[in-house]
C-alpha cells in the first residue's frame, strides 16, 4: 500500500482519478448541477498563474511560473460569476500562501 498524504483515499468517477473521496463526491454534485443548468463550463485541475507586484512569481533557477491548481472551476449561472473551488480537508501552509496571493490578485477561492 502506498503512503498517501493526509490519509486521502483515491477514487475514480467517470473514468477520472481523484485524490480523495471528498473531491470525487463534489465532482458528482457539480456534474448534477451542470445537468440541471445551474452551472456550466465545469473544469477540474485548472492552473491559475500566481502574480506578484512585478509580474509572474517564478521559481529559481528554473524560471518556472508558480501556479495554483484549482480543484474545480465553473460558471454559476444564477449568480453570473465564475467560481474557483477547492475541496479541502486540511489547509496546508502552502495553500494558505497561494490563497493569499490570489486574493491580492482579486481572485477568491471557495472552500467546500
Mean pLDDT, consecutive 10-residue stretches, the chain (112 aa), reads 63 87 94 98 96 90 93 96 90 92 93 90
pLDDT given at position 4: 58
What distance in Å separates the CA atoms of residue 88 and residue 90, rounded to the nearest whole number? Answer: 5
pLDDT given at position 68: 94
What distance in Å separates the CA atoms of residue 85 and residue 68, rounded to the nearest whole number? Answer: 11
| Cα angle: 47, vertex 104, 54; to 5 degrees | 80
Query: Which residues face 3 on adjacent strands?
Result: none
Amino acid at each position: 500500500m502506498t503512503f498517501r498524504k493526509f490519509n486521502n483515499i483515491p477514487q475514480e468517477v467517470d473514468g477520472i482519478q481523484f485524490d480523495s473521496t471528498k473531491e470525487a463526491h463534489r465532482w458528482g454534485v457539480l456534474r448534477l448541477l451542470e445537468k440541471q443548468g445551474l452551472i456550466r463550463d465545469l473544469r477540474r485541475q485548472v492552473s491559475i498563474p500566481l502574480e506578484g507586484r512585478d509580474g509572474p512569481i517564478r521559481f529559481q533557477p528554473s524560471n518556472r511560473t508558480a501556479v495554483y491548481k484549482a480543484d474545480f472551476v465553473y460558471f454559476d449561472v444564477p449568480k453570473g460569476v465564475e467560481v474557483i473551488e477547492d475541496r479541502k480537508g486540511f489547509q496546508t501552509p502552502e495553500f494558505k500562501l497561494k490563497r493569499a496571493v490570489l486574493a491580492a490578485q482579486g481572485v477568491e477561492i471557495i472552500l467546500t
